[in-house]
Amino acid sequence: AKEKRMASSWPTRLALVVAVASGLVPRVGRRPPTMCICVNCKFVDRCTAYHHVETKHGQPHLSAAPDFTPRAPTVAILVNSTASTTNFEVELDVTACDDYVEDRGRWLRMMPPGTLVTAGFSADFVPT
């Protein structure tokens, strides 16, 4: 099968890990890691992949125009639902990336002061 190309700047080569937390689908093996590694990455403020995650989560953006497209990010998709099959949340977390360079606390240092509170988040919010 041919690989479909995405129209946006989002990387076209993604490895997706899907975890269903609703209990409707039996779990096989271990649950994938759900900590987004982006918060401790040198490129978090320039990354198109993280920008997409911010958009999906309704979080304020570190950058209005990210200019770095990472190679082969692995995105874990965690679907959480209630007993009702009509209500669910989708959590996206980048759990691996060929361009990851550790810089502990980078996300927190790069977030402009007051941005979280203005957007309706707690002042001490850190994405996980």
pLDDT tens for each residue of 23-69: 434 444 445 556 789 999 999 999 999 999 989 888 888 999 999 99
Write down the pLDDT at residue 31: 52
How far apart, in whole angstroms, are the C-alpha atoms of residue 50 and residue 43? 9
pLDDT tens for each residue of 71-112: 999 988 887 776 666 777 788 889 999 999 999 989 888 887
Write down the pLDDT at residue 49: 94
Percent of the chain with pLDDT over 90: 31
Write down the pLDDT at residue 82: 65
Write down the pLDDT at residue 12: 32
Write down the pLDDT at residue 19: 34
Write down the pLDDT at residue 15: 35
Handedness of CA 90, 80, 76, 118 (dihedral sign): positive
DSSP code of residue 7: S
